[in-house]
Amino acid sequence: MKLVRYGAKGAEKPGLIDGEGRVRDLSGIIADVAGEALLPENLARLAALDPAALPLVEGVPQAGLRLGPCVGSTGKFIAIGLNYADHAAEAGMKVPEEPVIFNKWTSCINGPDDDVILPRGSQKTDWEVELGVVIGKGGAYIDEADALSHVAGYCVVNDVSEREYQIERGGTWDKGKGCDTFGPIGPWLVTPDQAGDVGNLRMWLEIDGQRCQNGATATMVFKVPFLVAYVSRFMSLQPGDVIATGTPPGVGMGRKPPAYLKGGEVMRLSVEGLGVQTQRVVRG
């Protein structure tokens, strides 16, 4: 099942993608793709619906019909750093012995095709295609063996990052990770039964049609079940929380010389089976 949130920014409605790739309205069934709607028993009720019996939404998704972030009312947007061995190598950093955790502020969450706005004075804004994990059943101190039962689904995340703010301006990574629009999520939330083998999904990102990142979740250091369990040791997880699980090589910081977004570029990115994002980069 592919769940979406469609419509004007800030006024999105819940929907699902039918077998023809069209949006069916769920607003008569759930208030939003958020919170308790993501609990396993409620997702099972949605999966049992006949899409053809739901109202058809006018317009083609991502081609006239705007899709918003695929999950609403996110309480925590958690990210994992240096979780691909080949990305750590290009960054000149050691593979961590334990996951690196940082925050992306929820105010950075953006639709999958909305503009990415460079902060004023930004010189080193970068791109990162990532697999996003959306929590369904909350919990703390989750057992790794039980971790996947807490996952509502998966999505594409672009972990947009301002490297000067992140690395050179003091403090933690958070400073460069949570600027407004730096967290495109979607286009849809894909439930685990349709997401394939999340331990081996191809992923890519292009800038103006040039392939920059071309990797796979197979090179993740810490896999999804471990990450869900590990994060839950330090904070309780709630329905709708999002974990961005790291990026493969090919980011601008790793190029020789480094290359960063200046404004005017178009980013396209995808994780296999989870849809495509397209963002225009504009200066703030």
At 92, is the pLDDT very low, low, confident or very high (cuts 50, 70, 90)?
confident
* pLDDT number for residue 3: 99
- Residue 44 domain-assigned? no
Structural domain count of the chain: 1
Quote the mean pLDDT of the chain.
Answer: 97
**pLDDT tens-digit series, residues 233-274:** 999 999 999 999 999 999 999 999 999 999 999 999 999 999
| Model pTM score | 0.97
123 vs 112: CA distance, rounded Å: 23
- Residue 123 domain-assigned? yes
The CATH number assigned to the domain holding 130 equals 3.90.850.10
Q: Which domain holds residue 134?
A: 68-283
* pLDDT number for residue 181: 98
* pLDDT number for residue 85: 84
Q: What percent of the chain has pLDDT over 70?
A: 100
Minimum mean pLDDT among 20-29, 34-43, 67-76, 170-179: which range?
170-179
- Residue 248 domain-assigned? yes
pLDDT at 93 over 80: no
Question: Region 172-192: what's the mean pLDDT?
Answer: 97
At 175, is the pLDDT very low, low, confident or very high (cuts 50, 70, 90)?
very high
* pLDDT number for residue 89: 79
pLDDT at 91 over 80: no
**pLDDT tens-digit series, residues 39-75:** 999 999 999 999 999 999 999 999 999 999 999 999 9
Q: What percent of the chain has pLDDT over 90?
A: 94
- Residue 42 domain-assigned? no
